Amino acid sequence: MPRSMTIAHPVLVALGVVALSAAGALAAPPTDEQIDAALDAYDTIRSEVTSREQYEERLTAFEAQHAEAIDLSQLDAATIERMSPVMFSTPERAQSAIARLGELEHPQSEDGAIALINGTFFTMMANRQLPELSRLKIITAHPALDDAIRSGNAEVYFTMLGYMGQYRPAELREIRDRVVLMDRLVSDDMDAQNALASTGLFDAVSAILTDSDEDKAIQERFRVSIASALRSARAGTDERLEMAAALDEAIIRTDGAFARGQLVGYPAPDMDFTWSNDASLSNTRLSDLHGKVVVIDFWATWCGPCLASIPNVRSLVSYYQGTDVVVLGVTSLQGFHSDQAQGRIDTEGDPDREYELMSAFAAERNMTWPVVFSEQDVFNPEYGVDGIPHMVIIDAAGKVRHRALHPATDLNEKIAMIDPLLVEAGLELPEISKSAANVSPDEDGHDHSHDEGAGQEGGHEGHDHP
């Protein structure tokens, strides 16, 4: 799932927290008032403690005071889901909750569907693994799934579906026909949390469907429905809340240029550059470079493949030196700077410090092209950037012509993409390109006139994500 699109489910917040011991069974399930009091008390503990010892001491008192609310033997599936922060207070309690949910699974009832959904999710989180595809298939076919989703389990279920892109397409065929009907679960009256989670459903559909016209129409149906739900939720969300920013990004991911299929061959979405080690680019916009061919390399200091590709980018910059080709290393504020010698350096809330460190980093790494920080996230949803490094080429008219390139792509391949854009715009080619036509292929039948040097800063395969 895209990096900054989520507001964490309570289970995610509670993972790694230390323990509660088991409580004794009571004759009757807890009341709503008891559950609310227990959740409030537990949240207070998590927000106030400053040491493990203090935490354990507070938990002992919590267990004694709220034993009735945390007795698993008295909880139904919906209550366990509601109590999920407490359920994940320790690995042992999480496993006990999973076992209890297993007892509550039922092939017909709504609570059985809720147990199945949350048992699968709890197992995924407790074991830090992908959701079991066999169980997702059972959930998707459950007759009470719609009722379970509408009663408040959309977030958990859609989050799990969002991992479908991690499976091979052949493994998803059996679940396809059911998933493509699930836009029925998306509506404009969803609350903000569930609307945000519905982006997981969009990711699932994108993973399952092919490039056929029929599948493209289905994907567009989902996109429109989910984007509408997100916009409706955003309209009712206070601008000051963290959720508002999360919804804004989700809207772009589902209704931006890339999501609409209007990126390659269309005007490049603009970016605001807040800082650059080239002063002429600070406080400018991407659109200010209209008239030049622009190569954007989305990257970050913590990204290994990005750093390994620095020599490749340097070769590209050298090749087009003195032409109207501009290469930009685009990143965004991360709240920290990664340095091989010093490790991770915290810069949260201090952008000037992050800029300063970046300036030194670029000089030390001999980055001969400008590094710019964009106001937009480095995982820019308008460009469909879900992993870095990610290279984009924009023509002199300001249209995206190539995307999702790896900067370590062979130099000849990049030249074959860029040179025609210069010719198309009536701009000068580099001298070596002008003379390349006169270079005869060698005995193996290939023209090596543009080959990059063998020196590399490590491997360069793959993309990275925090």
- pLDDT of 454 higher than 70: no
Asked if 312 and 319 count as a contact pair (C-beta separation under 8 A), the reply is: no
Distances (CA, A) of 412 to 3, 328, 421, 460: 32, 19, 15, 17
Least confident of 40-49, 397-406, 415-424: 40-49
pLDDT range class, residue 20, cuts 50, 70, 90 = very low
Q: Would you kindly state where each structural domain of the chain is located, as residue ranges?
A: 10-255, 272-436
Please, what is the average pLDDT of the chain? Answer: 87
State the pLDDT at residue 258.
93
Q: Which long-range contacts (CB under 8 A, 24 or more apart) does 344-353 make?
A: 344/302, 351/274, 351/275
The 10 Å CB-count burial string (b at 16+, else e) for 164-191 is beebeeeebeebbeebbebbebbeeebb
Helix (H) or strand (E) holding 374: strand 371-374
How many C-beta atoms surround the C-beta of residue 159 within 10 A?
25
pLDDT range class, residue 304, cuts 50, 70, 90 = very high
Q: Which of 465, 463, 460, 438 shows the shortest CA–CA distance to 449?
A: 438
Q: What whole-number distance in Å separates Cα of residue 152 and Cα of residue 163?
A: 20
Euclidean distance between the first and the last CA atom of the chain, given in angstroms as a whole number: 12
CATH superfamily of 272-436: Glutaredoxin (3.40.30.10)
- pLDDT of 408 higher than 70: yes
pLDDT range class, residue 89, cuts 50, 70, 90 = confident
Q: What whole-number distance in Å separates Cα of residue 325 and Cα of residue 396?
A: 9
State the pLDDT at residue 465.
54
Tokens of 430: 């580099």
pLDDT range class, residue 443, cuts 50, 70, 90 = very low
- pLDDT of 311 higher than 60: yes
Between residues 121 and 464, the one the model is more confident about = 121
Q: At what angle do helices 133-141 and 154-161 cross, to 10 degrees?
A: 130
Percent of the chain having pLDDT more than 90? Answer: 65
pLDDT range class, residue 22, cuts 50, 70, 90 = very low
pLDDT range class, residue 463, cuts 50, 70, 90 = low
Helix (H) or strand (E) holding 41: helix 32-48
Asked if 390 and 300 count as a contact pair (C-beta separation under 8 A), the reply is: no
Between residues 424 and 455, the one the model is more confident about = 424
pLDDT range class, residue 26, cuts 50, 70, 90 = very low
- The pLDDT of 159-179, averaged and rounded, is 88
Percent of the chain having pLDDT more than 70? Answer: 88
pLDDT range class, residue 67, cuts 50, 70, 90 = confident
Give 359-393 pLDDT, tens digit per residue.
999 999 999 999 999 999 999 999 999 899 999 99
Give 92-135 pLDDT, tens digit per residue.
888 999 999 999 998 899 999 999 999 999 999 999 999 999 99
pLDDT range class, residue 232, cuts 50, 70, 90 = very high
3 state DSSP class of 87: helix
Asked if 164 and 180 count as a contact pair (C-beta separation under 8 A), the reply is: no
The sign of the torsion formed by the CA atoms of 28, 34, 40, 41 equals negative
Residues 6+ apart with CB under 8 A from 87: 11, 14, 80, 93, 94, 97, 122
Give 255-294 pLDDT, tens digit per residue.
999 999 999 999 999 999 999 999 999 999 999 999 999 9
- pLDDT of 23 higher than 80: no
